[in-house]
């Protein structure tokens, strides 16, 4: 029997209002304080869903009286359900569920999935969201349904940015696209991650000169000399960071118990990260892992004589009563913004161009690479899980040394 179509009368504005109401009630259900509240919000949500589908769906719903409910879909398919409530659920999922969502609409579900799966830092999510909004959200690709996107569409998207972006920007955008498609694959929305099928190395990018801008050995020596007489906790933390190869979050998370019994090494096994509440408020917490999220990020770094003297200075001035080696006045870990201010002041005193705290890690890795460290050495010392970044540092420093040797021998 051919199902009759009815006239769809829903207004776009009314549709958005109903969707907002449904989303709001869904949140209320998730945070209901009692079973009674949950049932009340769930009932209200279903009423809104039924109202929305009755206005949105153009085909009659048949069945009942002992027979399965069924209806036709615009693409020629059929939807069946034993109960009328289940049929409306399936229709709602058909029109508004993830299966019909665009790439841009799947971004927030992807972020929630990624955060739960990988315990991603709040700062990373914030940076990625800015990149998503700038390059992907309003693009033609972002407006396409995820199940309709082909590898050629991804290629067309990146080709539009040829010679307009730096290589790290392209990599960041590609990482987000890869992640959204990974999420879609995990939810059976698509069977293949077409984003990973496209190689962005074919895209021409702007020259990236920032890779050459880091602290030098002379810069380090000048900064350490400028801070030699200081016993300020932030200054001492800066000095120790220039003796290790760690991230700022890992430095802030160091505890006295991480120092080996012989005092010759220190274990890097946790970090302080930024997390965001449901209301968007950020706060720092300590997590018992490093950025990689697995064992490759845990490493034991040697403490040089200079590093041991810095730690002894911390003991003499501040004691070991707190858990953290470097404590704020509240007894918690140091905060990143004051750390940056102290580093900037130290640079000014030393006559060195200021660079971020992350560049102290760049200095350590670059210095190790220029002194013959292998890719495996750098992976173990820096806490990386792949060789790609390590090989980048080795190539960069080896090229610089070769160039210097050639100039020394060929050009007066």
Q: pLDDT tens digits, residue range 250-296?
A: 999 999 999 999 999 999 999 998 877 665 677 888 889 888 777 77
Per-residue confidence at 121, pLDDT binned at 50, 70, 90? low
- 5 lies in a domain? no
Within this chain, do residues 237 and 302 fall inside the same structural domain, yes or no?
Answer: yes
Within this chain, do residues 395 and 268 fall inside the same structural domain, yes or no?
Answer: yes
**Model confidence, pTM:** 0.60
Residue 2, pLDDT above cutoff 50: no
Residues 200-256: pLDDT tens digits?
888 888 876 555 578 989 999 999 999 999 999 999 999 999 999 999 999 999 999
- Chosen domain end from 96, 120, 144: 96
* Res 77: pLDDT: 81
For the stretch 138-154, what's the b/e string if a residue is b when 16 or more beta carbons lie within 10 angstroms of its beta carbon?
ebebbebebeebeeebb
* Res 332: pLDDT: 83
In angstroms, rounded to a whole number, what is the distance separating the alpha carbons of residues 388 and 85? 52
In angstroms, rounded to a whole number, what is the distance separating the alpha carbons of residues 244 and 238? 10
- 242: CATH: 1.10.443.10
Chain centroid offset of residue 328 CA: 27
- 390 lies in a domain? yes
- Which of 234, 326, 332 shows the shortest CA–CA distance to 285? 332
Within this chain, do residues 297 and 402 fall inside the same structural domain, yes or no?
Answer: yes
More confident residue, 213 or 314: 314
Q: What is the DSSP track for 92-145?
A: HHHHHSGGG-BTGGGHHHHHHHHHHHH---HHHHHHHHHHIIIIITTSTTTTSB
Within this chain, do residues 131 and 51 fall inside the same structural domain, yes or no?
Answer: no
Per-residue confidence at 396, pLDDT binned at 50, 70, 90? low
Residue 119, pLDDT above cutoff 80: no
Residues 30-89: pLDDT tens digits?
888 899 999 999 999 999 999 999 988 988 899 888 889 999 888 778 899 999 999 999
Domains identified in the chain, total number? 3
CB 140 within 8 A of CB 157: yes
336: CB partners within 8 A, 6+ apart: 248, 252, 357
- 190 lies in a domain? yes
- 249 lies in a domain? yes
Within this chain, do residues 254 and 191 fall inside the same structural domain, yes or no?
Answer: no
- 121: CATH: 1.10.150
- For residue 210, the SS3 value is helix
Domain range for 29: 12-96
Within this chain, do residues 355 and 262 fall inside the same structural domain, yes or no?
Answer: yes
Dihedral, 347, 252, 308, 320 alpha carbons, nearest 10: 130
Within this chain, do residues 110 and 76 fall inside the same structural domain, yes or no?
Answer: no
Q: What is the DSSP track for 29-84?
A: HHT-SSHHHHHHHHHHHHHHHHHHHHHH--B--EEETTEEEEEE-TTS-EEEESSH
- For residue 334, the SS3 value is coil
- Which of 103, 104, 107 shows the shortest CA–CA distance to 125? 107
* Res 400: pLDDT: 60
* Res 212: pLDDT: 57
- 119 lies in a domain? yes
Residue 186, pLDDT above cutoff 80: yes
- Counting residues of the chain whose pLDDT is more than 90, the rounded percentage is 48
φ, ψ for residue 343, nearest 5 deg? -65, -40
In angstroms, rounded to a whole number, what is the distance separating the alpha carbons of residues 160 and 141? 11
Per-residue confidence at 113, pLDDT binned at 50, 70, 90? confident
More confident residue, 390 or 316: 316
Residues 342-393: pLDDT tens digits?
999 999 999 999 999 989 998 998 889 888 888 899 999 999 888 877 877 7
Token look-up 């707190």 returns: 322
- 48 lies in a domain? yes
CB 81 within 8 A of CB 90: yes
Within this chain, do residues 181 and 304 fall inside the same structural domain, yes or no?
Answer: no
Q: What is the DSSP track for 378-400?
A: HHHHHT-SSSHHHHHHHHHHHHH
- Chosen domain end from 150, 175, 208: 208
358: CB partners within 8 A, 6+ apart: 247, 248
- 6 lies in a domain? no
Within this chain, do residues 268 and 357 fall inside the same structural domain, yes or no?
Answer: yes
Both tokens of 159, joined, read 């080709």
Within this chain, do residues 240 and 321 fall inside the same structural domain, yes or no?
Answer: yes
Within this chain, do residues 294 and 341 fall inside the same structural domain, yes or no?
Answer: yes
Within this chain, do residues 187 and 250 fall inside the same structural domain, yes or no?
Answer: no
CB 236 within 8 A of CB 230: yes
Bridge partners, 70 (sequence order): 62, 80
How far apart are the two ends of the chain, measured CA to CA in Å? Answer: 93
- Chosen domain end from 208, 229, 260: 208
């Amino acid at each position: 029997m051919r199902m009759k179509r009815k006239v769809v009368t829903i207004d776009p504005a009314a549709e958005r209002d109903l969707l907002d109401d449904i989303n709001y009630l869904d949140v209320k259900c998730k945070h209901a304080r009692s079973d009674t509240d949950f049932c009340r919000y769930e009932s209200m949500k279903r009423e809104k869903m039924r109202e929305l589908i009755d206005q949105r769906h153009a085909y009659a719903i048949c069945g009942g009286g002992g027979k399965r409910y069924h209806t036709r879909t615009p693409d020629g398919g059929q939807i069946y359900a034993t109960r009328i409530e289940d049929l409306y659920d399936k229709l709602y999922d058909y029109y508004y569920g993830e299966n019909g969502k665009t790439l841009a609409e799947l971004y927030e579900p992807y972020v929630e999935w990624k955060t739960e799966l990988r315990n991603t830092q709040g700062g990373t999510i914030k940076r990625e969201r800015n990149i998503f909004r700038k390059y992907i959200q309003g693009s033609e690709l972002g407006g396409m349904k995820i199940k309709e996107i082909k590898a050629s569409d991804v290629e067309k998207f990146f080709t539009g940015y040829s010679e307009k972006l730096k290589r790290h920007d392209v990599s960041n955008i590609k990482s987000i696209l890869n992640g959204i498609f990974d999420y879609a694959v995990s939810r059976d929305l698509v069977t293949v991650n077409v984003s990973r099928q496209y190689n962005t190395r074919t895209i021409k990018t702007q020259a990236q000169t920032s890779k050459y801008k880091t602290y030098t050995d002379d810069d380090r020596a000048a900064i350490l000399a400028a801070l030699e007489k200081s016993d300020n906790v932030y200054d001492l933390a800066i000095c120790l960071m220039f003796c290790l190869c760690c991230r700022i979050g890992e430095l802030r998370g160091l505890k006295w118990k991480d120092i080996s019994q012989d005092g010759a090494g220190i274990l890097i096994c946790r970090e302080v990260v930024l997390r965001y509440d449901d209301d968007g408020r950020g706060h720092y917490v300590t997590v018992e892992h490093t950025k990689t999220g697995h064992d490759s990020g845990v490493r034991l770094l040697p403490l040089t004589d200079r590093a041991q003297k810095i730690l002894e200075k911390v003991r003499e001035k501040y004691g070991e009563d707190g858990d953290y080696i470097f404590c704020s006045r509240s007894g918690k870990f140091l905060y990143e913004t004051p750390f940056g201010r102290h580093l900037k002041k130290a640079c000014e005193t030393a006559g060195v161009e200021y660079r971020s705290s992350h560049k102290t890690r760049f200095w350590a890795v670059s210095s190790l690479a220029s002194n013959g460290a292998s890719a495996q050495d750098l992976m173990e010392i820096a806490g990386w899980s792949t060789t790609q970044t390590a090989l980048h540092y080795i190539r960069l420093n080896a090229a610089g040394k070769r160039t210097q040797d050639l100039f020394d021998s060929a050009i007066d």
